[in-house]
Structure 1
């Protein structure tokens, strides 16, 4: 039995290894169109590779996927985060958990993960070919019993089963060769990006972060709480990145032009915040407002917010006019910024969109239209928020496809 795996990324390698290990008699060939293998694995997590997330229950784990949550919930029962940790540890790679739940190799090097996958692929007998792009897949017919994989160099490859793991593509045209197979394609749009704010009132605070803030989008039911980072181009950090994933299609439809409302003290509502400020005013009437930050906010951020509230540098709490108190309240709870555009998060490009899940058997990752054709990884309309979830989807779908192809 000959199996062709198209794509030399996380899902492709995991599918190829799983298949070859489960069926040593199968001839597994992995095709990668570039000269680089596992390129996303190598750059992920700032070169440390965020392998998975320390969320081991299938239900809660699936809730981190804006697209694919329902289908992945069942898939994670077969192969979830715990299975991923065990898989790597059995092959000599120990993982560690950070405070936010992200899991990395103890070496803090993505090369460790890439080396492990390459080693296991070779050990299992997978043939790896780089610089081999695929232009078309012809499914079996009444007269031809196998798939024909057409290569970019004009050659052809015959296979009994084919696994497509070509990743997300920023352009809809990147899916044309798969569209020919009759699979519905959801238009790809970016997910996981930062907000560009050209007129950012806090631009001078580049590098300042707040561990707990809320970002809400005006006129939309979109909000997310988490760490927020001020950058020289606008805003980033988990609160923005995760919000960008949940709102990927909405932001695309808005042409990345919208108003974001930043709440620096999400533990308060307007009433409780007003009461808190009043209590502080009574307790510390002689303290200068600008130089005494509240709510554990960074000094520079507090100063910038008081500037937005038009509070004079030397005014004391006892002297603070009501209108400036109201403006400070607004700056703390609903600071408006006009977002105009986005920036890709680091070197990582994540898309929502791709092969529609309704025509894929999510227990085996097999096409419902063409038996023997399988999909795994980001080529599917599955994407997770930042934190190791996209790799987990790659391991899971790759594993299920590899196991099914081997049988």
Structure 2
């Protein structure tokens, strides 16, 4: 049996950040990280295409919380204590400089996730944090004065247990056995499978669009990317994140309405098209696209409207103009299934947020049990926001753990 002052389940971003911040506050504490896999920080390694999207350049807590479909209300207080600016400062203090890209995402200047991994491993080594890999937790038991964690080959005890196990159904089951409620997990970030002749040969084409789920209040806007299997891009991923539960209930079969002109509605579009019919009567429709999006998409949509590219603007009738305005601003695309978004799989679901004290990240059922990261029912869209949740939760948990241990003596 191995005894520690603090035991952290999960060797990912949240687990390491919690452990390091505890050790920096009290270097005398004996801390261990239990990781079921052969390697730690595997999600950090693949995030951001191997560059690690550390955080986002959104520095106002009330604005930052709006990127979280689940956790918006609960994270407002924590972000007021440790926000994106604090993350930048923390990494700078540990020798890692971050840079801001045009879309607000932040990466190490090295453009390598290994920089973040090396930073964490060096800090863990400096403070004597034990990293124990190949430790698949089989059971968790709460004794009177300590936690007992059994892996497949060892038993660990500690007065403090931090759960930073991410979206792991097996661990959720164990926490549920302790009395916590689990919000059923469903995928949060995914792309839409669409087989439609209008987009069949347009792989790689991207446009700024507004997307809606027909018969629902779900809508989002942003770059939309046409792929081999249908539609992806930030606009689609935002819709999937906010609609995670509703779309799961629909079994990912629904009608997607696309406004390829984003902020231009049907009436405005119709007026623009009528103006072109008057002003550019002799020009062909295929060669004169009045909107700022790819020529191939324009040609596909005019064909879908029953117009040949060689048709002159003067020869378009009312029915064709209406059909084109409709395709441009409220085209309907049947969605039949989803595809996971690259390696950055994010789940909606986890420990019920009602059972967490967000001033300390403590369980409301056990004051010596803490939760950080994606083990909770918190998730965000892509852009560094899920990592920011891990850093904030880890920082607050560490602060609380050290203070509570000092009070206990």
Matched residue of 2:198: which SS?
Answer: coil
Contact kept, 8 Å, 2:209 with 2:260, in 1: the verdict is yes
Q: TM-score, normalised by structure 1?
A: 0.96
After the TM superposition, which segments of 4 or more aligned residues of structure 1 sit over 3 Å from their partners? none
- The equivalent residue for 1:22 is 25
- The equivalent residue for 2:184 is 187
Consecutive unaligned residues in structure 1, runs of 5 or more: none
Once the two structures are superposed, the pairs formed by residues 145-224 of structure 1 within 5 Å of their partners are: 145-153=145-153, 155-169=154-168, 171=169, 175-199=172-196, 201-210=198-207, 212-224=208-220
Matched residue of 1:71: which SS?
Answer: helix
Tell me the alpha carbon deviations over residues 207-228 of structure 1, each in whole angstroms, 9 at most, x when there is no partner. Answer: 0111x21011000100001000
Cα displacement (A) at 1:156? 1.1
Tell me the alpha carbon deviations over residues 253-300 of structure 1, each in whole angstroms, 9 at most, x when there is no partner. Answer: 000110001110122122211111111222111110012222111010
Cα displacement (A) at 1:163? 0.3
Tell me the alpha carbon deviations over residues 359-404 of structure 1, each in whole angstroms, 9 at most, x when there is no partner. Answer: 1111111111011110000000000111110000011111111221
1:118 counterpart = 2:118: no
- State the distance in 1 between where 2:147 and 2:293 align: 61
Matched residue of 1:204: which SS?
Answer: coil
One of 65, 71, 89 as aligned partner of 2:92 = 89
Tell me the alpha carbon deviations over residues 54-88 of structure 1, each in whole angstroms, 9 at most, x when there is no partner. Answer: 00011100111000111101000111101001000
- State the distance in 2 between where 1:108 and 1:11 align: 21
Root-mean-square deviation (CA, aligned residues, Å) is 1.1
Cα displacement (A) at 1:174? 5.1
Tell me the alpha carbon deviations over residues 168-212 of structure 1, each in whole angstroms, 9 at most, x when there is no partner. Answer: 13x5x55211111100100000001100113453020000111x2
Q: Across the two proteins, how many residue pairs are aligned to each other?
A: 400
Matched residue of 1:290: which SS?
Answer: helix
- The equivalent residue for 1:343 is 339
- The equivalent residue for 1:71 is 74
Once the two structures are superposed, the pairs formed by residues 237-252 of structure 1 within 5 Å of their partners are: 237-252=233-248
Consecutive unaligned residues in structure 2, runs of 5 or more: 404-409
- State the distance in 2 between where 1:115 and 1:140 align: 36
One of 382, 385, 389 as aligned partner of 1:389 = 385
Contact kept, 8 Å, 1:287 with 1:316, in 2: the verdict is yes
1:108 counterpart = 2:114: no
Contact kept, 8 Å, 1:26 with 1:406, in 2: the verdict is no
